[in-house]
């Protein structure tokens, strides 16, 4: 059974069709890439999956259940976690707090337990903080636990956002341009890191990238969007040789600098 299945998903903003008749079926354990030029509709696909937008048409199923129309927090609780293209960390909080906020979803102690610091409260809090610390350790941020998110170097902030998403213990992890703003070497390191994460946590990953080369190495399968339409789908090799993809990307070469600045 597919973990995530989008069928005929269309999203219009007024007269603009940001995503048109999008279909994909992602199997457990896959690492699927979503690429395409600026404004192709990639982030919109993520916003649709995570309930930030409701689709105009079509359906989204997670583990066989419809999730379109559900609230973002409900979808997150079911097991779909995401990162954001422009980093949305809790900036003034420490790395540990950032992770704990996602991690605490599993604690069930009551308001009364919290107000009077009952043994249940203490045990669950300890577990949340221990788990969070362990997670930071796993992603290589162990010694940064007490740094405020905004004071971390950019690359670490990217990793912290991934750690925060992993803290939800998700089945599916959506990564929106995790390598944005990184140089080619940093990007490649990050891709190794993502492969590593998939191995350690056994999550299914759906990954947006702007730059084709970066995802080629790690994705099982790649979907290419252009102006909201799916123009190609296949293995990295197939995509590399796909005529329309080459055209879409060649058409982009002239304004590539601009897209860098925006990323």
Ligand X SMILES: Nc1ncnc2c1ncn2[C@@H]1O[C@H](COP(=O)(O)OP(=O)(O)OP(=O)(O)O)[C@@H](O)[C@H]1O
* Residues 170, 39: Cα–Cα separation, whole Å: 27
Complex with ligand X: residue 112 or 154, whichever CB lies closer: 154
Q: Does 57 bind other proteins (CB under 8 A)?
A: no
* Residues 175, 206: Cα–Cα separation, whole Å: 6
Q: Which of 1, 111, 250, 253 binds other proteins (CB under 8 A)?
A: 111
Binding-site partner at residue 38 among ligand X, other proteins, Mg ion, none, CB < 5 to 8 Å by type: ligand X
Q: Least CB distance from residue 86 to ligand X, whole Å?
A: 9
Binding-site partner at residue 111 among ligand X, other proteins, Mg ion, none, CB < 5 to 8 Å by type: other proteins
CB count in 10 Å sphere of residue 19: 29
* Cα 163 to the center of its chain, rounded Å: 11
Complex with other proteins: residue 93 or 138, whichever CB lies closer: 93
Q: Does 115 bind other proteins (CB under 8 A)?
A: yes
Query: At residue 29, what are phi and psi to the nearest 5 degrees?
Result: 85, 0
Q: Which of 70, 82, 133, 159 binds other proteins (CB under 8 A)?
A: 82
Rounded alpha-carbon distances, angstroms, from residue 250 to 21, 162, 235, 243: 24, 31, 20, 10
* Residues 21, 48: Cα–Cα separation, whole Å: 13
Q: Does 175 bind other proteins (CB under 8 A)?
A: no
* Residues 48, 60: Cα–Cα separation, whole Å: 8
Which residues have C-beta within 8 Å of that of residue 30, sequence separation ≥ 6?
Answer: 204, 205, 220, 221
Complex with ligand X: residue 43 or 104, whichever CB lies closer: 43
Complex with other proteins: residue 66 or 88, whichever CB lies closer: 88
Yes or no: say if 174 and 83 are a contact pair by the CB < 8 Å rule: yes
Q: Which stretch binds Mg ion (CB under 5 A): 42-50, 54-62, 69-77, 139-147?
A: 42-50
Enumerate residues 197-216 that contact ligand X by CB under 6 A: 210
Alpha helices (H) in 15-58, listed in sequence order: 42-49
Q: Which stretch binds other proteins (CB under 8 A): 21-29, 98-106, 180-188, 189-197?
A: 98-106
Q: Which of 50, 85, 94, 198 binds ligand X (CB under 6 A)?
A: 85
Q: Does 18 bind ligand X (CB under 6 A)?
A: yes
Residues that bind Mg ion (CB under 5 A): 42-43, 85
């Amino acid at each position: 059974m597919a973990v995530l299945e989008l069928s005929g998903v269309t999203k219009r903003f007024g007269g603009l069709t940001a995503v048109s008749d999008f279909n994909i079926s992602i199997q457990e354990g896959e690492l699927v890439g979503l690429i395409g030029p600026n404004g192709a509709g990639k982030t919109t696909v993520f916003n649709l999956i995570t309930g930030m937008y409701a689709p105009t048409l079509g359906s989204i199923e997670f583990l066989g259940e419809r999730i379109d129309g559900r609230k973002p927090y409900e979808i997150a609780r079911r097991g779909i976690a995401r990162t954001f293209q422009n980093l949305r960390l809790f900036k003034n909080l420490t790395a540990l707090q950032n992770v704990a906020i996602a991690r605490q979803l599993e604690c069930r102690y009551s308001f009364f337990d919290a107000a009077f610091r009952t043994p249940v409260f203490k045990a669950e809090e300890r577990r949340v903080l221990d788990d969070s610390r362990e997670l930071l350790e796993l992603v290589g941020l162990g010694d940064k636990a007490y740094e405020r998110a905004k004071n971390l170097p950019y690359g670490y902030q990217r990793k912290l956002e991934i750690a925060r998403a992993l803290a939800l213990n998700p089945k599916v992890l959506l990564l929106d341009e995790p390598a944005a703003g990184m140089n080619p070497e940093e990007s490649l390191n990050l891709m190794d890191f993502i492969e590593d994460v998939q191995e350690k946590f056994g999550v299914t990953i759906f990954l947006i990238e702007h730059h084709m080369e970066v995802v080629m190495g790690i994705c099982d399968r790649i979907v290419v969007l252009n102006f909201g339409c799916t123009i190609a789908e296949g293995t990295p090799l197939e995509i590399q040789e796909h005529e329309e993809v080459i055209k879409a990307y060649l058409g982009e070469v002239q304004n590539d600098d601009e897209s860098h600045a925006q990323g």
